[in-house]
Chain A
């Protein structure tokens, strides 16, 4: 295989597969829409891909908790394939509902053994409802995360009702922090970089009142990454929230969100081909 191949999962209410495929293509990879059942019935295999992306959406309508039922489909129906994929050093990203899926199935924040044990969750926003608004993210420069290398800040939309990152064992937060797994957090854009802190920022700077302002996490290896906000929704400058104020005619081009996907495709080209 001379090209980086991305399996973009679809089906059961996933709904961001079109733009998720588009950003990987823009980053130079070949993206394929793969219905989850095509993996379950053996029509295709994750082994044929270097990157698996679980896009955003409303899998199973978020009923019984966002990402729960899709997480179970993967945890019970594709357990061995997913573990083999991760353990062979390949890359995984979950965005929004995809992040919720990865957390509920225990792949994130995850563990060395890829045991698929759930240790964190995403609770209903403190506002009690779904919201679409733009947020500013800041990335941990010491994170092992492959996807976030070299990125400092990024402006992206959040579009979720259940994005408040929590755990029932607060000691884990310290451990994830030390290992750099708390890869991305909400910050106040008015503050100078770096400004990320553990103290929960006021709404709506933190749109969901996530613990420690966590917007996304990676696994211990940095190969598996997930986040609530939507970097794929800022793939071009003309999709920014305030582009009519801050982008001049001649300066249009790639949007801030693309850096994440370029990181992954570059890593795959260098290490997985």
Chain B
């Protein structure tokens, strides 16, 4: 296909039929109104497909309605612009904007169009390309709305281009027309040698200008390696530069040693000082001390922890025949730059972690937890950042497309808001997988079985310039110079084909070892697996490329998506390739696993990298870090003077807080029921709109054993103490799981840390405090997981969540997402959160204390009432032994069928929980909190209603079961509060005094309306 190949522009728009709106245009209209308050008269969308191919006139015409336009409901054209056709557009629009991808950016619709073109015209294989773009035509744009502003809301200049026709252009019928996005030819650079025999400041410069994210110590460790005489001799023999690394070697080391891949802060030696207690101690690796050790201790006691810490996800035995695995990842930096593409890449990326576990697991459920700036944020947005509402829409859209198109249900999640996520949104994507305990050939599927001589295949997508330096980039803070090449757009369908193919190959016994190509690309995937056999030999010259001209180091570290690296025995290669051909998946031999002790990378005949496995994986020097804890001081909360109705108004305001409000508009557009396994869904209640707690799935159709999936996240508490934050996250995840009836003897957790940079430096003067927060969070994890017998089977950390833009630094609050997966013995006994019937009795299980420090109420009073109230006070404290004992009693009562509903008390406290349970029943409630006042001496109505004490679950019981329930809960804090009432009123008293009254309809309107995403209904 040369430059002279003609380009055919196909245009498609909705046909004018009564009762058929242009829903694409109406959606944009709704988005502009909802996000920005801009009401446009009308918007029409025209889709454009540019086809670069030698089509005959007849072929070109045929493709209009055989491929691009629907013959029934769409209008298509290949000759001329639809906007010029007065039968379709009798009145000229007032503004027209066309937006399309920049050259080299993944265009999934274009790829699908090409596939469709080849279905009709197979002879064009290899000689055609398709690019897509969209044209938006506007009528009656409000005064003062600049077309440039409109365009900025409809495309992301990081990855897209736009062309604009203003009113004058429109009157002259001059429509915007983007060229075909031809990729400019890249110039391949020969492998370079990087001289490290330079002064220290130059070493730092090499690291910084090369985006290597290596510190001076690490650069010096590399320098020392190349000074080693034995190494120099070996390199001479291979024809490599003896005394200095090649660029490919340096890149490979940088990504393997990156914070993203090697978790240097968690592995560091930390000097920790506590000015409060006088503690002065040294911690040799937070990970080994507080995460690995407790889990290994638990592993000694149980027989179901099959694979922990060393694979792409942790694996637990679920029953005799099946095991489950789970992994959660973050994709924060890419999502800040390109919310849609970054988030989509996040979800399909973590799906590949599951596919790459053991010999391959099937992803069966996703979880999505996001942290954003407030959607109604009205302050200044630093240049280079998107408004939180746009980030939210983009991230949500990317995860929706990624999950839905992959056929994996999104079963659980959360959205958290805080001003400090403005700089970096957090995008946590988790996936649960299932695999048979044994394959048909007898091998245990959670163990990889590579041997030297196995052939290395790269399977799935091709390697491109997209995604170079993702791993090292995410180990740096976000700045205005952040490179667009670090962003990729996921391609769920390429991946879905690959997943289908890989799972068939697994069942046929064709896979010996498998891992995904995520951060660090081939360098990481082959480099890591090489550790299993003791070496690998990789040839970059045969790697299929998206565009010619990539340099060897670029091919080695590119993070282009949808790729797995698979080890196959030579005898199985033919069968493996046949399966790939059937599924139309590209599978290419790129090397061999060896036991040579080295990772050898070639470009054809030339060796471009030779790295001893030991140095590659163990050569990175340990960091020495300083940590110092001084508890922060906060002003106390100032409570307004108010009466019962005033309290009702405050509760209404609470229900509309973005952290509490219904996320229904957003969650509905995730498929949460594909695979026909969702037992407890994100929604419950008579109107299907009350919030579920944990998810319960029954993944083997027709069988009643289930799995429970839940999440806990409470970043607010970090403002007082990250220990409390971590403890509360774990308790919230477990509490949610208990609400649906999890089997407490088979639960496992995932710890996912997102932190601001905790290393003291000129840029981070408060590094010691941030590191102390990390130390305290880890100690909580250790204490609470041991107490709950909850091993952490997998985890992840993202340690540079700061953004510095034009001198302004924004750091996120230290945040842990704790995810939980557990067994459910019989899903028919699962319990949902909605109150069931009028007359059912309401109980609160667990102790309540005056714990309002850093509560949602505290922030609400500060932000929405007086602007000065502090957030200080007691932050919820954990008593894990007490909680667990109560959880066990409640679980047993569920097994007896005594519990009608169970709901977690968290953000907004008891009052918010009661309201949510009432939504599910379309009923009201009458409760008396006087009994819970005995739990502690200083508790008042604020604490009783809005306090966030841990370990509390609100349940309802049918009257005939109350006696049995009370007997079952004997010995645990459990108080009868009142009952479910007919009507629209929620009324809370403290003995004779009514302390809160509110109408359910106003609570419901506040709760459902706050985060409604808008759009036509």
Contacts and interface: CB of A to CB of B under 8 A. Distances in A.
Contacts of A272: none
Nearest to A119: B72
Q: Which of A63, A121, A234, A239 has the most CB of B within 10 A?
A: A63
Nearest to A247: B828
Interface stretch (A46-54, A72-80, A85-93, A259-267): A72-80
Most buried by A among B17, B23, B66: B23
A242 B671 contact: no
A190 to B, nearest CB: 12
Main secondary structure on A side of the interface with B: mixed
A125 to B, nearest CB: 7
A271 interface: no
A19 B699 CA distance: 10
Nearest to A244: B832
Interface stretch (B401-409, B864-872, B962-970): B401-409
Contacts of B1009: none
Given A72-B120, A239-B676, A11 B583 contact: yes
Interface residues of A, number: 71
A65 B584 CA distance: 21
A235 B675 CA distance: 11
Interface in A15-58: 15-16, 18-19, 22-23, 26, 35, 37-38, 41, 56-58
B91 interface: no
A242 B830 contact: no
A38 B504 CA distance: 14
A121 B17 CA distance: 12
A203 B1017 contact: yes
A236 to B, nearest CB: 7
A121 B70 contact: yes
Interface string B653-690: 00000000000000011111111111111011110100
Interface string B119-137: 1100000000000000000
B675 A58 contact: no
B109 to A, nearest CB: 4
A12 B901 CA distance: 42
Contacts of B405: 13, 58, 61-62
Interface in B485-513: 492-493, 496-497, 500
B19 interface: yes
Interface residues of B, number: 78
A238 B830 CA distance: 9
A144 interface: no
Contact of B496 (A15, A41, A121): A15
Given A12-B497, A252-B828, A76 B120 contact: yes
Contacts of A232: 676
A168 B407 contact: no
Nearest to A203: B1017
Contacts of A134: 688
B112 A166 contact: no
A18 B676 CA distance: 9
Contact of A120 (B72, B496, B678): B72
A72 B582 contact: no
A233 interface: yes
Contact of A64 (B14, B116, B675): B116
Contacts of B828: 238, 249, 252
Contacts of B497: 11-13
A238 B704 contact: yes
Contact of A57 (B112, B120, B407, B583): B407
A127 interface: yes
A13 B495 CA distance: 9
B796 interface: no
Interface of A: 10-16, 18-19, 22-23, 26, 35, 37-38, 41, 56-58, 60-65, 68-69, 72-73, 76-77, 104, 118-121, 123-134, 157, 159, 164, 166-168, 200, 203, 211, 230, 232-236, 238-239, 241-242, 244-245, 249, 252
Interface of B: 14-15, 17, 19-21, 23-24, 26-27, 30, 49, 66-68, 70-74, 108-109, 111-113, 115-116, 119-120, 400, 404-407, 492-493, 496-497, 500, 582-584, 668-681, 683-686, 688, 698, 701-702, 704, 827-832, 834, 836, 897, 901, 1015-1017
Q: Lowest 9 CB-CB distances: which A-B pairs, in order?
A: A15-B407, A128-B27, A63-B112, A19-B676, A22-B701, A124-B23, A121-B72, A244-B832, A58-B405
